[in-house]
Amino acid sequence: MQRKVNRLIRLATSFVILGLVPLLAAGTALTGHFRSNMERVVLDDIGRMVSYGGSNTEAVLEECSSLTKHIYDVSTDDGMFLYQILKSPGLGREERKMEITLLLSDFLDRDSRLRSVYFKDRKGQIYYATRNAYKVLDEDAFRYWTGKEDEEGDFSVLPAHMDDYFQDSGSQVITFRRSYKDITSLKTIGSCLGHFYMDMDVSRLQSALSDIDLGLGASFYIMDDSGACIYRVDTDGSGKTADSMASLLPSMNQETGSLLEDGTYVVYKRLEPYGWTVAVQAEQDRVLDMESTIRYTAVFLGAVFLAFLCLYSYFPERIHRP
């Protein structure tokens, strides 16, 4: 009997030294390897989400940029285009205002998501048309909001904002601006007659980004080169400032890339033609502390325990068998 007990002890010791310890060591190594690889996998997933969001954002920008060009195609009932109305010496101020307002109203019908459209001529006179005919534009507020854009190329986009230059208005919009050239002849094509603006409802961008799954408590940003937040999606909503991200813009100097700053991952994509950057921000702790890691570890330890239990039950049975 004592011999059987000694044999059992030796078998148990051999199992622990030659079986359980290497198994636990291998499991620890595999868990560490899995954890390090998981970081790369998660970042790759975020990168695909950024690429998807960037492609959809570019599609919206191209669509809206193309839409602003149609201001050259719109004409009044008597066949006058905007540049002809602006340059016609026979039109009085009120008549010109009425003609341009009617022309802008026709343009407004080209897309149901347009909230308002505007034209500001070289003298600073503003003409506009909006969905709600009873809304009155605060021209000083509009000039203040759009003034900086007048010197920045042929086409630009302002950040998402509330159109509070209309009293009691609560629409969140993105404003697109295009300089309007004099197309009377080839000699005048370089001359700017003013600037055309259109307020697109932010739902146009939201619908393009609705499939983005922001796990890990991440935040999705679209910023311009000045650091202004064009659009933001996170657990708190959208349309907010992005001060923490703006400071990282100088480091986002590649077409695509990722950064680790103060325990936070940032994966980004540059939209060079428009001077925009699409980025996703996620806390490093949230990336590494994944539920899948916990499940993996639990399953592994459970398998080790089950193997030990089976072997422990098997060897005594073999020992006591005559």
The pLDDT score that the predictor gives to residue 105 is 94
**Domain 1-54+215-286, CATH homologous superfamily name and number:** YNR034W-A-like (3.40.1840.10)
pLDDT-derived band at 35, boundaries 50, 70, 90: low
Reading the block at residue 107, the tokens are 């343009």
Q: Which CATH class is domain 72-204?
A: alpha beta
Which distant-in-sequence residues (6+ apart) come within 8 Å of 177 by Cβ?
Answer: 68, 146, 149, 150, 155, 156, 157, 158, 195, 196, 197
262 confidence band (pLDDT: 50, 70, 90): confident
Helix (H) or strand (E) holding 229: strand 229-233
Average pLDDT over residues 198-207: 88
- At residue 236, the pLDDT reads 47
Residues of the chain above pLDDT 70, percent: 71
Residue keyed to tokens 């039950």: 313
Q: Give the residue among 221, 213, 214, 131 at the shortest CA–CA distance from 171.
A: 131
Would you give the DSSP letter of residue 249? G
Q: What's the whole-number mean pLDDT along residues 160-176?
A: 86
In whole numbers, what is the pLDDT of the chain averaged over residues? 79
More confident residue, 10 or 137: 137
How confident is the model over 255-265, as a mean pLDDT? 85
Query: What's the confidence (pLDDT) of residue 77?
Result: 86
pLDDT of 184 strictly over 60: yes
For 189-212, give one letter per residue: b (16+ CB within 10 A) or e: eeeebbbbbbbbbbebbeebbeee
Residue 299 pLDDT > 80, yes or no? no
Question: What single letter denotes the amino acid at residue 298?
Answer: A
110-120 pLDDT, tens digit each: 999 999 999 99
| CA 86 – CA 78 distance, rounded (Å) | 15
- The two three-digit tokens of residue 229, written as one number: 């937040």
Give the pLDDT confidence score for residue 297 in this predicted structure: 59
Average pLDDT of 29-38? 56
Give me the pLDDT at residue 151, please: 59
Tokens of 282: 């996620």
Highest mean pLDDT among 24-33, 56-65, 224-233, 252-261: 56-65
Structure-block tokens of residue 313: 């039950």
- 199, 166 Cβ separation under 8 angstroms: no
d(CA 172, CA 159): 10
What was the pLDDT predicted at 239? 47
Say what the pLDDT of residue 235 is: 46
pLDDT of residue 319: 47
Burial classification of residue 222, based on how many CB atoms lie within 10 Å of its CB (0-12 exposed, 13-18 middle, 19 or more buried):
buried
Q: Is the distance from CB of 219 to CB of 233 less than 8 angstroms?
A: yes
**Residue 217: partners with Cβ closer than 8 Å, 6 or more residues away:** 235, 282, 283, 286
Nearest to 139 by CA among 118, 165, 158: 165
Helix runs in the chain, H state only: 2-14, 21-69, 82-87, 93-108, 139-146, 203-208, 243-246, 284-288, 291-320
Q: For residue 62, what pLDDT band results from cuts at 50, 70 and 90? A: very high
Higher per-residue confidence, 175 vs 13: 175
220-257 pLDDT tens trace:
888 888 787 888 876 444 445 566 777 888 889 889 88
pLDDT at res. 74 = 93
